[in-house]
Amino acid sequence: MSEPELEPENTTITEETVPTVETGTEPSPLPESSNGLADEDLANLVTAEEYLLRKDVQLLEYEKQMFLDLVHTDGLLVSAKGLGYERVLMHILKVYSDTGNLLLVVNSSDWEEQYYKSKLDAKYVHEVANTATERERVYLEGGLQFISTRILVVDLLKQRIPIELITGIIVLRSHSIIESCQEAFALRLFRQRNKTGFIKAFSSSPEAFTIGYAHIERTMRNLFVKHLYIWPRFHATVRSALHPWQAQTIELHVPLTTRMSSLQTHILDIMNFLVREIKRINRTVDMEAVTVENCVTKKFHKILQAQLDCIWHQLNSQTKLIVADLKILRSLMISTMYHDAVSSYALIKRYRSTEYAISNSGWTLLDAAEQIFTLSKQRVYNAQNEFEPEQCPKWQPLSELLTKDIPGDMRRRRGADHLEPPKVLILCQDARTCYQLKQYLTQGSARYLLQQAMRHEVLVGKLSEALAKDSQTTAMAEDTGHNQTDVAKTEVKTEPDVAQHSLDELSQLLSETDAEAQLMQQQQQHLFEESYMLTMTQPILLPTSEPDPNASIFEIIPELEQFDVSAALAAHRQPCICLQTFKTEREGAMALEHMLDQLQPHYVVMYNTNVTAIRQLEVFEARRRLPPAERMRIYFLIHARTVEEQSYLTSLRREKSAFELIIDTKSKMVIPEYQDGKTDEAFVLYKSYEDEDANSANANAKTRQGATMGVALNAARVTPKVIVDMREFRSDLPCLIHRRGLEVLPVTITIGDYILTPDICVERKSISDLIGSLNSGRLYNQCVQMQRYYAKPILLIEFDQNRPFHLQGKFMLSQQTTATNADIVQKLQLLTLHFPKLRLIWSPSPYATAQLFEELKLGKSEPDAQVAAAVGSEESSAAASSEQLQYNNAIHDFLLRLPGVHTRNVHGVLRKGGSLRQLLQRTQAELSDLLQSQESGKLLWDILHVAHLPEKDEVAGSTALLVASKQFTSGSHNRFRKAAGEARRGRR
């Protein structure tokens, strides 16, 4: 099987040969014909196995196997987290980096796109152009493009891209590919017209394939691939590649404090009670996913949403309250385990209020809840009610590691005369923990906890003696340390926001005003960074002072975005401590690999546990291939037999179970030969109107004449068309419309979202969009435009297919609405009163909408894209014929509301009526001539000149007459006041 070529005269990539270019040389010219290759071109062609033998290709054994699998055949690769298919994909992209190939990469995140672009040759990677004309030119230049799927779908539908010349498409994060998404739409359009191009898909989330029925089979069907490659951590090739190069690991089991252990026990007791309660109330509902083990894991909210969203409207209020309280208790558990005592107390204190006690499920009334409130306060205040918060249990072991164990181990391993300073990498789970450790190391626990008390508005009161002594010691250590000349501080600027707070004196910190504390809280999000660099310096000892082992301080180096780690390490011969999150917003999971390559640490401290990070460390060590004495040493700081350890073990168990399910599914999977879409059989299941028309023609042949049948057959064979607004390609509906066999025409239209026929215009609204449009008045204006230009305007209200077909209440798991159901219904009633021709359609899902559109188009004429684009635009008004009346839309609508004026005579009034003042000055006879009707003229003259007071027999009582007189005497027009006064005088 040979891979496709972009142009007939270009070289092809076959499973036997892979085009390569030697390092440092220009690419060879492409041959003029694919039938015969010149000798110099053949010299640059190598097999995939020969490519892997090149010196610049550094892949582990299992990565080489991944590369060979995907170069030779199309398929879906599912790897364990941390093993990293990124290098494999990078080399696949390098292989196809040539102007003779057009390769598209879809569904990539921003950090993935930046990572691959930084590793590839810039001349082969093209940026996506903003204009359609420019994109057409860039497509023809070949190379690689990281393109958003919405732009790709529109370009494929408009045939701006040469579909037959696309070499292949690479799909990242393929576990998210469902049949209604834009990626599946683009792949279907690609495969329908290109039978030779390849499709290669990658995923590192095996757990995602276990959600739903036959997820892996449906994903492969949507990707048009037949081969599945599975790479778990327990794969024999992976184990043989990583095991010989394992780093030395040391587990430090840090015990929880007595109060923290009791807090954990009580929170788990309440969770266990609520889980039993929710299962007791809902015996008929599948609550298998609601367990205490799942409650303390990261993806608890997603598990609940997948389990309960479909039946959320059927659950009673108590169940919904319990679900909300389980999420709250999980946040309390996380705060207790990972945050400091002051922050945890501030969070728990929020739930000891009358308002929350009334609105929760009742857990605050339990004895365990009272213990939680009491213990959290005891962690901050001592028995004398003095401010003495307890430290995090991991702080002291971390300080001992950095100041004693690691320097001592460095001397033992490298000798007492070693000159290289230790480089330590500390890995945390999030930016908040990273900031916490940075503040603790730079200014000590006492001052950091005081800052947290100020930030969270926790009453400090009187400091305990121990805390006051620690604070003074820390301040003195900083003062002496700052007298020393520090190389790092003379050459590098300190952080403007973060470091300034660490240099404040204790007296300044305690004298902060409330306004400053609030400002500090507002700047909290700016304080949290994902990376910090610290250096450790020894303060100058005074002659009268004694050496203090705790006097070593850590000083900040500016944030890493503008800081070259390798250059700093070469310039400053000082110990380097780097604080880093497992993944960052800018670089994602590749941030850790990037930091490891730059820093080359001697020691790694896992402050929190993470499966992906541990495997990344394994892979990094296997690539270096160092002898055991020179490998990095990894310290694990872990709370044994706690929620932290259980969460780590649960994530391992889930991944292993997911891979076992995928392996079992693969062994039983039945894959059709045509699933790759390279034959027309793959699209037989899609709706074909030609077949239907032929069948209907055969059925009608018995009752119709041949000529009539031929005309009907030719007319019916036209593929139904639906005009879709460009902005609608963010939704799933265009994909599902195309899947039903309708032709989708992407056009920028100003009125409506979908044009089904020349008369039918549809405005689609999701529930959240509907409420926003009703509140802002935008929907009213849209209905005005639709009713003016189309005979059958339709408002389509579409629900999410994963949620019930029901307007939700205020206890939604994933809140979509803030308005009540009554408000929505009342505004929709007003809308239908104002627009009698408007039809409302309620759809339970996009699938139902696509079927509805198909049924609405049966027997109707097809819409014209040019006409639809011109309707409502300024160009249509300018290009309108001279006979067409030009008028002000607001005046037109106002006149139609007057008695005697209707659609047949309104144009005459607009042409000859002049202004409203001139209309008021006309006589009844003139108005009758203008409206071409005596009756209509009288009705219009009466509404303009006669004060319409209620008759005496219609309104009984003097109160009603008084109300009527007040209404008309308060009018702003003098004519009405004058007429009302004359009527009263006549009655006297």
Residue 650 lies in a domain: no
The encoded tokens of residue 548 equal: 């203090």
CA atoms within 13 A on the CB side of 660: 6
Instruction: Give the whole-number percent of the chain exceeding pLDDT 70.
Output: 75
189 and 264: one domain? no
Q: What is the pLDDT at residue 920?
A: 86
Residue 928 lies in a domain: yes
800 and 864: one domain? yes
Q: What is the pLDDT at residue 490?
A: 24
Contact 208, 175 (CB under 8 A): yes
When mean pLDDT is compared across 23-27, 659-663, 819-823, 939-943, the lowest value belongs to: 23-27
As a whole number, mean pLDDT of residues 507-528 equals 41
The C-alpha atoms of residue 857 and residue 789 are separated, in whole angstroms, by 19
When mean pLDDT is compared across 370-384, 561-575, 586-600, the lowest value belongs to: 561-575
375 and 391: one domain? no
CATH number of the CATH domain containing 84: 3.40.50.300
pLDDT-based confidence at residue 12 (cuts at 50, 70, 90): very low
Final residue before a domain boundary, out of 637, 664, 695:
637
Residue 482 lies in a domain: no
When mean pLDDT is compared across 29-33, 197-201, 228-232, 938-942, the lowest value belongs to: 29-33
As a whole number, mean pLDDT of residues 659-684 equals 88
Buried b (16+ CB within 10 A) or exposed e, 165-197: bbbbbbbbbbbebebbbbbbbbbbbbbbebeeb
855 and 897: one domain? no
Residue 490 lies in a domain: no
The encoded tokens of residue 467 equal: 């805390």
845 and 748: one domain? yes
CATH number of the CATH domain containing 771: 3.40.50.10130
pLDDT at 322 over 60: yes
368 and 401: one domain? no
Q: What is the pLDDT at residue 603?
A: 95
Residue 504 lies in a domain: no
pLDDT-based confidence at residue 148 (cuts at 50, 70, 90): very high
The C-alpha atoms of residue 753 and residue 734 are separated, in whole angstroms, by 11
Contact 550, 440 (CB under 8 A): no
Q: What is the pLDDT at residue 982?
A: 62
Q: What is the pLDDT at residue 567?
A: 56
As a whole number, mean pLDDT of residues 688-709 equals 46
When mean pLDDT is compared across 85-94, 500-509, 511-520, 826-835, the lowest value belongs to: 500-509
pLDDT at 509 over 60: no
Contact 77, 231 (CB under 8 A): yes
Residue 166 lies in a domain: yes
The encoded tokens of residue 17 equal: 């040969």
pLDDT at 40 over 90: no
Residue ranges of E strands in 631-726: 633-638, 721-725
pLDDT in tens, 268-288: 999 999 999 998 998 888 788
Q: What is the pLDDT at residue 23?
A: 34
As a whole number, mean pLDDT of residues 691-716 equals 45
The closest alpha carbon to 186, from 199, 173, 175, 196, belongs to 199
CATH number of the CATH domain containing 938: 1.10.150.20
Q: Pick 303 or 552 by higher pLDDT.
A: 303
Q: What is the pLDDT at residue 508?
A: 31
Residue 646 lies in a domain: no
Contact 804, 849 (CB under 8 A): no
pLDDT-based confidence at residue 376 (cuts at 50, 70, 90): very high
161 and 212: one domain? yes
Q: Quote the number of domains for the chain.
A: 5
The encoded tokens of residue 267 equal: 């929170």
201 and 265: one domain? no
pLDDT-based confidence at residue 11 (cuts at 50, 70, 90): very low
pLDDT in tens, 875-929: 444 444 333 446 677 787 788 778 888 777 888 888 888 888 888 888 888 888 8
CA dihedral 606, 607, 613, 617 (to 10 degrees): -20
722 bridge partner residues:
744
Q: What is the pLDDT at residue 145?
A: 93
State the average pLDDT for the chain.
79
Final residue before a domain boundary, out of 194, 213, 243:
243
pLDDT in tens, 177-235: 988 899 999 999 999 999 999 999 999 999 999 887 888 999 999 999 999 999 999 99
132 and 214: one domain? yes
The encoded tokens of residue 976 equal: 């009405």
In the 3-class helix/strand/coil scheme, how is 290-346 assigned residue by residue? Answer: CCHHHHCCCCHHHHHHHHHHHHHHHCCHHHHHHHHHHHHHHHHHHHHHHCCHHHHHH
pLDDT in tens, 812-852: 434 444 445 677 888 888 998 888 889 999 999 999 999 99
Q: Pick 130 or 224 by higher pLDDT.
A: 224
844 and 866: one domain? yes
As a whole number, mean pLDDT of residues 118-132 equals 88
CATH number of the CATH domain containing 424: 3.40.50
Q: Pick 973 or 151 by higher pLDDT.
A: 151
pLDDT at 38 over 70: no
pTM score of the predicted model: 0.77
Q: At what angle do helices 132-140 and 149-157 cross, to 10 degrees?
A: 90
731 and 836: one domain? yes
Final residue before a domain boundary, out of 209, 243, 277:
243
What would you measure as the largest C-alpha separation in the chain, in angstroms? 121
pLDDT at 719 over 80: yes
- Start-to-end Cα distance in the chain: 105
219 and 321: one domain? no
pLDDT at 465 over 70: yes
Domain that holds residue 753: 721-805+818-870
pLDDT-based confidence at residue 530 (cuts at 50, 70, 90): confident
